[in-house]
Chains A and B, each alone.
Chain A
């Protein structure tokens, strides 16, 4: 299908943010994004506003503090989706259509049991947690990410492996954790399944602790995909780095301010994938 025919559902409830940036990211690349409230997908809206998840080719869960991050970050949004949208979401993922969760979106996908999802599309209980940063603080700054995926993830297909991109983080709960008794096993399975997409590194590209890894996440992991590669969750915000002028060094490095920023390639990759596959 043509890129302009690709419909992107940017799903929001109260407390999500960056949906406008997400919208703009897809729009500037020529796709057809729409900001959709969860109520529109579950029939709790006037008839003309109702939407069906099946109408879209890409689902994006933006960042923010959905439902005030009450209970745990992303837990309430996940519970609402699970209660009304579980079957639709499973079908969406099973059909190979891409799902992107950024920041709070990643937390929601983890709480939903959609990531890391080793054995099924959506596990009954979460298999991981995005827990409070080791620093105990909200960490908000650019971060260096090394692309580690061998080609499975549809969101980074155009990004060479080993490349380092600069994408900002802004979160207090990004510390990826697995059950302590299965930490090793889960890390191995992630590697074996090619599910690791981004790891935090220092400016030389080496794995490093705080502050380079803002959260203390296990294995410096910043983003993972599902075993099929069509669901990506990442803590950093690529939609906030669509243009060079959004990079902290853009006045020093020259070039056009509105040239593509480092987050651009994520959106380009997924649209490229969808246009070829569907």
Chain B
């Protein structure tokens, strides 16, 4: 079994309203020195595929469903 982590991030230059709003709320709570907040989404999955194929499978999953290439990038990490 392989455990894979797929990290979906917003492309550079795409605004992140959720991150912005979170930053604002944290500042209202008195936290100082927050330069920026970015939201990322992580899918962690256990796969019954040969370790040599796992990365390719995860990339295919990202292309077909997990990321929208217009606004997002993905990064696969096998554990």
A interface residues (Cβ-Cβ under 8 A, vs B): 71-72, 75-76, 79, 111, 125-129, 131-136, 177-180
Interface residues of B in 50-79 (CB under 8 A from A): 63-66, 68-71
Roughly how many angstroms separate A145 CA and B17 CA in the complex, as a whole number? 24
Given the known interface contacts A125-B63, A180-B11, the answer about A75 and B68 at a Cβ–Cβ threshold of 8 Å is yes
The answer to whether B21 and A177 have CB atoms under 8 Å apart is no
Give the shortest distance, in Å, between A122 (CB) and chain B (any CB). Answer: 13
The answer to whether A126 and B70 have CB atoms under 8 Å apart is yes
Is B44 in the interface zone, CB < 8 Å from A? no
Provide the residues of chain B in CB contact with A180, threshold 8 Å. Answer: 11, 13-14
Inter-chain pairs besides A71-B66, A131-B71, 9 sampled, C-beta below 8 Å: A79-B64, A111-B68, A126-B70, A127-B70, A129-B71, A133-B17, A179-B69, A180-B11, A180-B14
Number of A-B contacts (CB under 8 A): 40
Provide the residues of chain A in CB contact with B64, threshold 8 Å. Answer: 79
Of the candidates A126, A127, A132, A133, the one having the most CB atoms from chain B within 10 angstroms of its own CB is: A132
Provide the residues of chain A in CB contact with B68, threshold 8 Å. Answer: 72, 75, 111, 126, 129
Give the shortest distance, in Å, between B75 (CB) and chain A (any CB). Answer: 16
Provide the residues of chain B in CB contact with A125, threshold 8 Å. Answer: 63, 69
Provide the residues of chain A in CB contact with B46, threshold 8 Å. Answer: none
Is B18 in the interface zone, CB < 8 Å from A? yes
The answer to whether B17 and A135 have CB atoms under 8 Å apart is yes
Provide the residues of chain B in CB contact with A136, threshold 8 Å. Answer: 17-18, 20-21
Is B47 in the interface zone, CB < 8 Å from A? no
The answer to whether B70 and A177 have CB atoms under 8 Å apart is yes
The answer to whether A128 and B17 have CB atoms under 8 Å apart is no
Of the candidates B13, B20, B65, the one having the most CB atoms from chain A within 10 angstroms of its own CB is: B65
Is B15 in the interface zone, CB < 8 Å from A? yes
Residue in contact with A129 in the complex, picked from B13, B15, B17, B70, CB distance below 8 Å: B70
Provide the residues of chain A in CB contact with B66, threshold 8 Å. Answer: 71
Residue in contact with A132 in the complex, picked from B13, B17, B69, CB distance below 8 Å: B17
Provide the residues of chain A in CB contact with B69, threshold 8 Å. Answer: 125-126, 179
The answer to whether A131 and B65 have CB atoms under 8 Å apart is no
Roughly how many angstroms separate A178 CA and B68 CA in the complex, as a whole number? 11
Give the shortest distance, in Å, between B41 (CB) and chain A (any CB). Answer: 8
Q: List 11 A-B contacts (CB under 8 A).
A: A71-B65, A71-B66, A72-B68, A75-B65, A75-B68, A125-B69, A129-B71, A135-B17, A136-B18, A177-B14, A179-B69
Roughly how many angstroms separate A250 CA and B9 CA in the complex, as a whole number? 45
Q: Which residue of B has the minimal Cβ distance to A127?
A: B70
Roughly how many angstroms separate A128 CA and B71 CA in the complex, as a whole number? 8
Provide the residues of chain B in CB contact with A132, threshold 8 Å. Answer: 17-18
Interface residues of B in 11-32 (CB under 8 A from A): 11, 13-15, 17-18, 20-21
